Amino acid sequence: MGMIGVVSGVLSTLRSARTVAQWKHVPPVSASSKSASVLAVVPARNEEAALPSLLSGLVGQPGVRVVVVDDASGDATAAVARSCGAEVIESSGPPLGWAGKVAAMHLGVGAAQDEEWLLFVDADVTCTPDLVGRLVASAGELGADLVSSSARGDGVAWWFLLPAFNTLVFEGSPPDGRGVTALGVGHCILVRRSVFLAAGGWEALAETHADDVGLATLIRDSGGVVRFIDATALLTTSGLDSFGDTWRSLRKSIQPSVREMFGPWGRVLLVVAGLLHLAYGLTPVLRWRSPWSWLAWFAQAVSHREFVRRVGSPEVSAVLAPLSWATIGVFLLDCALRPGAAWKGRRVG
């Protein structure tokens, strides 16, 4: 048990130090604004309640055309989008061989005219009226062909579950772009249209459910420059407000993504990762008298705090970091042992 404590303390310290260092590769969104021709594509399935908040800030931004793709909704999504000033494309759903969201975004891109940039925004996001101009300015300052940012939100998941999940994301797709996959977040992605089309567009990613990381990786591997930036001051999301919503949202992304990457071995890897992370979180708690456990607890809290302070969540929640990691372990086991995931009435895993 003594060796377990030492391993826990050393591993937590190294892991936390890496996460904090990686945040240094995430530049803030530009303080300036630059006008450009932009087609904003909003895939929307049963989003009548969320769309007014997004479109009130997005429609009317200089140089921006907004197209909402109504993805076979059963509510008034199309009517609400039109009433808010957006163009609407109505879809009967994805064709065979296409993931739903990817198919919707592909239809939206088909409405492009001569726009220089494409912006993909989730329907449950709210943005400030200067978002697009500052994203374009950021891309210019960074020499990037694609920039993306996560949003911020409210609820327990933001200060309990997502801080640990952020470390997993950075480990799989580092923000410096040097991982096997490049980091992109589907809340908000701006990409240069010419580079997007040259890389194959959404047709090259038709079946993927990890469309954000998939697009960032496609652009990077095609020679484009990809940067993840911090624009959380300009973006909020309601899609992760409850703990259950967050769990289901992450599950519908992780489960099919692991299956796509590792095939039948994916479930085994999820079981192993789940057990390891359960132990990673519980060891500092169960062996709290050990100084090595205090080191592990402190180290895990440091990376936890780095995330919550950037998204405006309570920094005091960092004290719960080990429990956050244990919960991530349970989450990964859930993904492995309960096959199948659904989102908005569609099976995605």
78-111 tens-digit pLDDT:
999 999 999 999 999 899 989 999 999 999 999 9
Residue 115 has what pLDDT?
Answer: 97
Torsion of CA 118, 124, 128, 133, to 10 degrees: -10
CA 39/CA 49 separation, integer angstroms = 23
59-85 tens-digit pLDDT:
999 999 999 999 999 999 999 999 999
Residue 341 pLDDT greater than 80, yes or no:
no
Tokens of 277: 């992370």
Element holding 120 (H helix, E strand): strand 117-121
3-state secondary structure of 236: strand
Strand 235-237 relative to strand 346-347, pairing: unpaired
Residue 349 has what pLDDT?
Answer: 59
pTM given for the model: 0.93
Residue 240 has what pLDDT?
Answer: 87
Residue 312 falls in which region: left (phi positive, over 0), alpha (psi -120 to 50) or beta = left
CA 178/CA 174 separation, integer angstroms = 6
**With bands split at pLDDT 50, 70 and 90, how would you rate the model's confidence at 338?**
confident
Residue 262 pLDDT greater than 80, yes or no:
yes
Residue 226 has what pLDDT?
Answer: 96
Nearest to 157 by CA among 310, 317, 19, 334: 317
The distance of Cα 94 from the centroid of its chain, to the nearest Å, equals 22
Neighbours of 316 (CB within 10 A): 10
**With bands split at pLDDT 50, 70 and 90, how would you rate the model's confidence at 289?**
confident
25-46 tens-digit pLDDT:
999 999 999 999 999 999 999 9
The runs of H, that is alpha helices, within the chain are 2-23, 51-58, 77-83, 100-109, 131-142, 156-160, 162-172, 193-198, 211-221, 243-262, 265-286, 291-310, 321-337
Residue 156 pLDDT greater than 70, yes or no:
yes
- Share of residues in the chain with pLDDT > 70 (%): 99
Residue 214 pLDDT greater than 90, yes or no:
yes
For 50, counting Cβ atoms within 10 Å of its Cβ (0-12 exposed, 13-18 middle, 19+ buried), the class is buried
3-state secondary structure of 199: coil
Strand 188-192 relative to strand 226-228, pairing: unpaired
What's the whole-number average pLDDT of the chain?
Answer: 93
Tokens of 296: 């592990």
